[in-house]
Amino acid sequence: MKKLIAAGLLGLYSFAAQALTLPEESRVPGGIALIPLEGLPADKRPSAWYKSNRVMVLSTRDTPLADKAHWVAVAGIPLKAKPSQKQHLRASATSYYFNIEGKEYRAQYLTVKNKRHVNPDPEDIARWRREKAEMVAAFKHWSTPKQPVTQFILPAKGPFSSPFGLKRFFNKQPRNPHSGLDIAAPQGAPIIAPAPGTVVAVGDYFFNGQTVIMDHGNGLTSLYCHMSRTDVKIGDKLNTGDAIGAIGKTGRVTGPHLHWTVSLNNTRVDPLLFVEGK
Ligand SMILES: [Zn+2]
């Protein structure tokens, strides 16, 4: 009897895995807006743009938005977006406007031993600028896989030690907000691909340490950093569960953990919006 139930559940699960699950909507800075592209024809996938970045567009077939429009834009909202300003998204020649709400992220105070990680010298800054350009190019990578990726599993096992969006102070000095989710895990523990994708950057960066960036298609990319080891190279095609590298404490850290960034339309958003049952 138990076996039958398990088989039944598995059957349901594999059916569910075929249908497209949209990420969770959260119209706040650092969140995601799902904008039904009303009035656009079904025969051609429109291209959409938001704040000069190309935006993911999915078919609404088999989704709760199917009776509103044929297509939905899935747009990442920047942490610095202002709730007082109407947001403007363009698809084909049509403008779509939407509002966002404010979100108050908590502050976090960290102390790091390497003072250059708080006040980099001019050489460090020049290096970081080059590395940032390399990372932004990876975040802007555009590809269109047959099966769009809209869901992630967690890339490492462990407690969430710092959520996305925290306002950050290093050695009491204000710095950029936390652009990802931290998962605490022991040095050397595995980091896996949370969805299919292609490796588009591998580097050893000033702040991020050993880093890998994956492209999942339609403007969705993900970054893994502070690793002790990377197991992949640029161009590798990974499936869910494939090894990326190992947990470490390289770059600007207070201890071993994975920093996991998820980027949509070159905009860093809360990774957990893509994780079901987190
Ligand atoms: Zn982090």
Distances 5 to 1, 16, 49 between C-alpha atoms, Å: 6, 16, 46
Strand positions, DSSP E, the chain: 32-36, 48-50, 53-59, 71-76, 87-91, 94-98, 107-110, 160-162, 167-170, 173-175, 181-184, 190-192, 197-205, 209-217, 220-227, 229-230, 237-238, 243-246, 257-264, 267-269
Which residue, among 264, 272, 56, has the nearest Cα to 152 in the 3D structure?
272
Q: Within the chain, which residues score under 50 in pLDDT? A: 1-17
For ligand 1, the distance from its centroid to the CA atom of residue 259, given in whole angstroms, is: 4
230/245 Cα distance (integer angstroms): 4
23/32 Cα distance (integer angstroms): 8
128/134 Cα distance (integer angstroms): 10
For ligand 1, the distance from its centroid to the CA atom of residue 183, given in whole angstroms, is: 8
Cβ contact 102:85 at 8 Å: no
**Digit-coded pLDDT (tens) for 4-57:** 444 444 444 444 445 789 999 999 999 999 999 999 999 999 999 999 999 999
pLDDT at 18: 53
For ligand 1, the distance from its centroid to the CA atom of residue 91, given in whole angstroms, is: 33
* 107-274: in CATH 3.40.50.720: no
pLDDT at 174: 87
pLDDT at 17: 44
pLDDT at 66: 94
Annotated domain spans of the chain: 23-98, 107-274
pLDDT at 4: 45
CATH class for the domain made up of 23-98: mainly beta
Query: What pTM, to 2 d.p., does this model score?
Result: 0.90
Place of tokens 């555009």: 142
**Digit-coded pLDDT (tens) for 126-137:** 999 999 999 999
Can 23-98 and 107-274 be said to share one CATH topology? no
Cβ contact 244:191 at 8 Å: yes
Calculate the average pLDDT of the chain.
Answer: 92
pLDDT at 277: 78
Residue 192 bridge partners (DSSP): 243
For ligand 1, the distance from its centroid to the CA atom of residue 169, given in whole angstroms, is: 13
Which residue, among 182, 172, 178, 181, has the nearest Cα to 119 in the 3D structure?
172
Q: Which amino acid is at 34?
A: L
For ligand 1, the distance from its centroid to the CA atom of residue 225, given in whole angstroms, is: 8
